[in-house]
């Protein structure tokens, strides 16, 4: 994944025209467009092909099944031109390995953003271990919990290759740009507070400015 603006749009709308309009409008500000079930279940997988002509698409399908089913899912994701996929790691190394066969970027959820996701801290170190050992592209870590994000960054940094940390939770879920970047996020995943704002382009510019300011004050 190429990172420039370090901003990823979580495009969780359910109308195709709106999705394409937002993607076109925000394309200059985005490294990646992330799609999830609400959009794909409303419009069909062809939306992935259409959006991929605008910006690279990351399919957030939180894949969490037996190895054979994981492999079949990732083959479909790849066939529609996505650049990557988000998967769960609690299913273990065999399931995870099965998602890594098509040359897609694979991001593993290390911990989640929402209140009540208390199971994750008990397993996140193991999940990072499994993912790092297999050589995934990176991890998803919560902007709403900067101390956990920072731990996940540190754990992933202790490995032989650098892992990319993508961080959702800024804006609608209460996470702050500066705290997430300072804790080690390499890019932010932002949905509602961006696409529902009155002026999404101005919001995108503001987010990028905040990301850049926080990055320049981040210790390496
Ligand atoms: P907003 O809360 O609208 O900014 O959207 C956040 C996006 O990130 C949604 O598409 C979520 O599905 C996704 N997400 C989380 O919010 N929390 C997580 O722990 C993981 C994800 C994700 O994997 O992207």
Å from CA of 60 to ligand 1 middle = 9
Closest residue by Cα to atom 22, ligand 1, is 168
Higher pLDDT, residue 104 or 158: 104
62 is catalytic: yes
User: Which residues lie below 8 Å from residue 101, measured CB to CB, with a gap of 6+?
Assistant: 71, 74
Output the pLDDT for position 159: 77
- pLDDT of residue 161 exceeding 80, the answer is no
Output the pLDDT for position 220: 64
Which atom of ligand 1 is closest in space to residue 172's alpha carbon? 2
The string of DSSP codes covering 60-80 is EEEE-S-HHHHHHHHHHHHHT
Output the pLDDT for position 102: 78
Q: Is the CB of 86 under 6 A from ligand 1?
A: yes
**Bridge partners, residue 105, by sequence:** 84
User: Which residues lie below 8 Å from residue 67, measured CB to CB, with a gap of 6+?
Assistant: 94, 95, 97, 98
Output the pLDDT for position 189: 98
Q: Is the CB of 31 under 6 A from ligand 1?
A: no
Question: What are the Cα distances from residue 24, in Å, to 55, 195, 198, 209?
Answer: 9, 12, 16, 20
Residues 7-29: what's their mean pLDDT? 98
Q: Which of 34, 50, 62, 161 is catalytic?
A: 62
Q: How do residues 170-181 score in pLDDT, each as one tens digit? A: 999 999 999 999
Q: How do residues 136-159 score in pLDDT, each as one tens digit? A: 999 999 999 999 999 999 998 887
Output the pLDDT for position 125: 94
């Amino acid at each position: 994944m190429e990172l420039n603006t370090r901003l990823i749009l979580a495009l969780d709308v359910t109308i195709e025209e709106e999705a394409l309009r937002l993607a076109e409008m925000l394309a200059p500000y985005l490294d990646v467009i992330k799609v999830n079930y609400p959009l794909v279940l409303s419009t069909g997988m062809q939306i992935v092909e259409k959006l991929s002509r605008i910006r690279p698409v990351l399919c957030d399908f939180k894949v969490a099944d037996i190895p054979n089913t994981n492999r079949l899912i990732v083959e479909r994701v790849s066939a529609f031109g996505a650049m990557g996929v988000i998967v769960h790691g609690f299913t273990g190394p065999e399931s995870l390995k099965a998602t890594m066969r098509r040359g897609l970027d694979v991001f593993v959820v290390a911990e989640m953003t929402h209140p009540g996701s208390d199971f994750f801290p008990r397993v996140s170190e193991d999940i990072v271990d499994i993912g790092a050992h297999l050589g995934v592209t990176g991890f998803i870590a919560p902007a709403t919990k900067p101390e956990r994000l920072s731990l996940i960054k540190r754990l992933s940094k202790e490995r032989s290759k650098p892992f990319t940390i993508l961080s959702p939770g800024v804006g609608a879920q209460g996470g702050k740009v500066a705290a997430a970047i300072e804790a080690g996020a390499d890019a932010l995943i932002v949905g509602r507070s961006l696409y529902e704002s009155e002026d999404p382009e101005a919001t995108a510019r503001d987010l990028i400015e905040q990301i850049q300011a926080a990055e320049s004050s981040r210790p390496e």
